[in-house]
Amino acid sequence: LRLALPQRSAFHLQKIEDGHLNNSLGSPVQADVYFPRLIVPFCGHIKGGMRPGKKILVMGIVDLNPESFGISLTCGESEDPPADVAIELKAVFTERQFVRNSCVAGEWGEEQSSIPYFPFIPDQPFRVEILCEHPRFRIFVDGHQLFDFYHRIETLSAIDTIKINGDLQLTKLG
């Protein structure tokens, strides 16, 4: 991928001897390492599925004028029939809610929405951690435990896919 940048650009890139790129502000940009793009909507595989003690990390930046975004852990990627959803987390900005639910055999369960506070701010970074424990998922946002969600899917190892969509940019997954 080669970008044509105008010569007068404030961020004109120049190749230098040691394999780095420098922008006009002098900060080095590594030229020979490329990371896969974290494009939204995102769908990725969770190696080995979930198990007690396993943690999923989602870091990103909320869009400037967000309506909502969602993070789902599912049993596969199937759309038809739809894969079981072990947990779907949805941040809804108009209602300042962080709702969660699951869908087993095509049936959505009872939605949960009580939270002590709404942790997401437009145009600001966030860190969501989903910790799998034996009876439940523990959800942390920016290091603070926000709520628990008890498993509705028995076979944790079947939970092998993460899907992320909505009004955010992903910066890191782990």
Residue 126 belongs to some domain of the structure: yes
Domain count, the chain: 1
Per-residue pLDDT averaged across 151-162, rounded?
Answer: 96
Q: Which residues of 54-67 are buried (b: 16+ CB within 10 A; e: fewer)?
A: bebebbbebbeebe
Residue 15 belongs to some domain of the structure: no
Residue 6 belongs to some domain of the structure: no
CA distances from 32 to 1, 20, 66, 117 (A): 12, 8, 34, 43
Residue 108 belongs to some domain of the structure: yes
Give the global pTM. Answer: 0.78
Whole-number percent of the chain with pLDDT over 70: 79
Residue 106 belongs to some domain of the structure: yes
Read off the tokens for 5.
Answer: 């940048």
Residue 73 belongs to some domain of the structure: yes
Residue 153 belongs to some domain of the structure: yes
Whole-number percent of the chain with pLDDT over 90: 75
Q: What residue numbers bound the domain in which 142 lies?
A: 42-173
pLDDT digits (tens, 9 = 90+) for 2-18: 444 443 333 333 333 33
Residue 55 belongs to some domain of the structure: yes
Q: What is the mean pLDDT of the chain?
A: 84
| Burial classification of residue 42, based on how many CB atoms lie within 10 Å of its CB (0-12 exposed, 13-18 middle, 19 or more buried) | middle
CATH number of the domain enclosing 50: 2.60.120.200
Which residue did the predictor score with more confidence, 8 or 159? 159
Q: How many whole angstroms separate alpha carbon 124 and alpha carbon 115? A: 20
pLDDT digits (tens, 9 = 90+) for 48-69: 999 999 999 999 999 999 999 9
Residue owning tokens 């230098």? 16
Contact indicator for 156, 51 with CB cutoff of 8 Å: yes
